[in-house]
Amino acid sequence: MKVMVIGSGGREHAMVWKLSQSSLCSKVYAAPGNPGMAPAERIQPPRSDPESFLRIAQEREVDLTVVGPEAPLVDGVVDLFQARGRRIVGPTARAAQLEGSKVFAKRFMERAGVPTARFLVFDSAEEACQSAGAFGFPAVLKADGLAAGKGVIIAGDDREAAEALQRLPKGRVLVEECLTGEEVSFIAFCDGDTAIPFEPTQDHKRVFDDDRGPNTGGMGAYCDPRILSDEDRRRVMDRIIQPTLDQMRREGAPFTGFLYAGLMMTADGPKALEFNVRLGDPEAQPLMYRMKSDFLATLAEGAPMEWRPDPAVCVVLAAAGYPGTPRTGDPITGIDACGATVFHAGTRAGANGLVTGGGRVLGVTASGPDLPSAIANTYAAVEKIHFEGMHYRRDIGRKGLRRW
């Protein structure tokens, strides 16, 4: 099969890396991809719109396309491919509203009976301001639309809430009850009716150690079977994933592709914080790394997934300035001899070699027979890589150590 991956980050590099190991795979295209993605052939679409991706798939006779980021999904790339009889993994634009609008997602969870934080919806930040403390403080304030993981603010009191609300993008605002517990990323591959779960992962969204500082797209993740017990996995499938698929089908928008539930494991059991309609990034990196079975066989034929027992850890190396505007163009050294698998995210080819080209630059990924050694192996590799202004968290996976 000829396969195309849409996107250019660490998640897409990890998928390209895994798919190209499949015995079913004859060729991988990446649109537009990044410099780390050999042996994939990179193709720069003229624009990032569904028509441009379709044209590439038609011209190269691509058998199966996999979509990495949410934007093309929300723009209807799956609808267009399906209308033209081309196979593609992902939800339709309507189903992608689960991620595209937080208000849609929360009202949907209510209809589906999916456990989630209590919430109120307001048409503007000014209106939300009056009721920021409706569920007490700290309060969670969220912008409705896509905000690249940066549209959520946790405010400690009325004054903080008023300040924070001014910084949110214009449009509808959610005020939510603040849940406590451990966060888990739970992703399932869905065919509209049923779901095959991936192993649980944990992301690290804040920029600094101990979950301090502003939110980012994700500073690192690990994939460890001990994150959730079998009983908790069953609960998540029975109370969150399956009811979501059933309700989507009832509403005439069956969900196909990757359904990602951001969970809070509360004292009352798992609750959904949010949905994404794609693999997480960086979660996809330790997931692809730990997956033993043929990923393409799962995507193309619904084959069950199998996993290596060893936990995997991915540490994101970020550029100076990230999560604000990152500095770019700095030479990167040490990747080849670092001893780990390094997924590229924000890199580009400079005149004299690889340079930084985005906020999250690399995802350094390794494993070990237990979580402590997986963490140690990953950080040993991190220390061999260098670029000016590089920063990273030193505590990726630390929350999981108490389970070992």
Instruction: Candidates 49-57, 67-75, 126-134, 177-185: pick the segment binding ligand AMP (CB under 6 A).
Output: 177-185
Residues 220 and 209: beta-carbon distance below 8 Å: no
Q: For residue 370, with 0-12 CB atoms within 10 Å meaning exposed, 13-18 middle and 19 or more buried, which class applies?
A: middle
How far apart are alpha carbons 252 and 233 in whole angstroms? 27
The CA-CA-CA angle for residues 337, 341, 345, to 5°, reads: 105
Residues 395 and 375: beta-carbon distance below 8 Å: no
Q: Could you tell which of ligand AMP, ligand GLY, none binds residue 280, using a CB distance below 5 to 8 A set by kind? A: ligand GLY
Kindly tell me which residue out of 133, 149, 192, 350 binds ligand GLY, with binding defined by CB under 6 A.
149
Enter the DSSP assignment of 309.
S
* Residue that the structure tokens 């027992």 belong to: 309
Q: Considering the rule CB under 6 A, would residue 161 count as an interface residue with ligand AMP?
A: no
Q: Could you tell which of ligand AMP, ligand GLY, none binds residue 211, using a CB distance below 5 to 8 A set by kind? A: none
Q: Specify the residue, 25 or 363, whose C-beta has the smaller distance to ligand GLY.
A: 363
Q: For residue 267, with 0-12 CB atoms within 10 Å meaning exposed, 13-18 middle and 19 or more buried, which class applies?
A: exposed
Q: Could you tell which of ligand GLY, ligand AMP, none binds residue 99, using a CB distance below 5 to 8 A set by kind? A: none
Q: Considering the rule CB under 6 A, would residue 283 count as an interface residue with ligand AMP?
A: no
Instruction: Candidates 18-26, 113-121, 265-273, 275-283: pick the segment binding ligand GLY (CB under 6 A).
Output: 275-283
Residue 282 CB, nearest distance to ligand GLY (Å)? Answer: 6
Q: Considering the rule CB under 6 A, would residue 115 count as an interface residue with ligand GLY?
A: no
Q: Specify the residue, 254 or 262, whose C-beta has the smaller distance to ligand AMP.
A: 262
Separation of CA 376 from chain center? 24
Report how far apart, in Å, the C-alpha atoms of 271 and of each of 176, 248, 315 are: 13, 18, 26
Kindly tell me which residue out of 11, 13, 205, 278 binds ligand AMP, with binding defined by CB under 6 A.
205
Longest dimension (CA), the chain: 59
Q: Considering the rule CB under 6 A, would residue 117 count as an interface residue with ligand AMP?
A: yes
Separation of CA 391 from chain center? 20
Binding site for ligand AMP (CB under 6 A): 117, 140, 149, 152, 176-179, 183, 205, 262, 273-274
Residues found near ligand GLY in the complex (CB under 6 A) = 149, 203, 218, 276, 280-281, 283
